[in-house]
A = this chain, B = another copy of it.
Amino acid sequence: MWTKSITPRFGDIDGLRHINNCMLPIWFETAREPLFRLFHPHYDLNEEWRLIMARISVDFVNQMRLRAEVEIRTFIGKLGCSSFTVYQEAWQDGRLGAKGEAVVVHYDFPNGKSLPIPDPVRNELEKHLVDEEKFHHG
């Protein structure tokens, strides 16, 4: 599990005075940084970048508010040959606010095809594997 603390920004709440739903994909993306760095240690977004998002989803569990830090917990769910699923949770004040999944593909942009995940990276990802069953039903 990786953890990342997020300070909600003033503009992250909406007219209902809750965190706007659209912030969650942004926060989850921010919290995937250590995972991106396994593939791209320098975290430079340039022509060398080889990760592409195939799908994201967010389940909204409890409303979150402006005035407290949010902890994002990031796990690896499924780990395939060239793609993997990231499981994430957003916690605030000891309550689960949202759960997210993101399907990430190791991808060769110039040739438009997926690439196997290199073994050293795979070994690191495996350390963060979570029991999928538990994530969905816990």
Which bucket holds chain A's interface residue count? 35 or more
Closest to A57 in B: B57
A11 at the interface (CB under 8 A from B): yes
Across the interface, A7 reaches (CB within 8 A) one of B30, B44, B45, namely B30
Q: Are A26 and B43 in contact (CB under 8 A)?
A: no
Q: Is A121 an interface residue (CB 8 A)?
A: no
- Chain A residues 49-80 with CB under 8 Å of chain B are 49, 52-60, 66-67
Specify how many copies of this chain sit in the oligomer.
4
* Separation of A21 and B58 alpha carbons in the complex (Å): 13
Q: Which of B15, B29, B30, B58 sits near A46, CB closer than 8 Å?
A: B15
For A59, what are the chain B residues with a Cβ–Cβ distance below 8 Å?
54-55
- Interface flag for A93 (CB, 8 Å): no
Bound-complex Cα distance A123 to B67 (A): 24
Contacting residues, chain B, for A131 (C-beta < 8 A): none
| Given A55-B58, A58-B55: A17 touches B29 (CB 8 Å cut-off) | no
A-side interface residues toward B, CB under 8 Å?
4, 6-7, 9-11, 13-17, 20-23, 25-27, 29-30, 32-33, 42-46, 49, 52-60, 66-67
Sample of 5 A–B contacts (CB below 8 Å): A4-B7, A7-B30, A15-B49, A21-B53, A22-B29
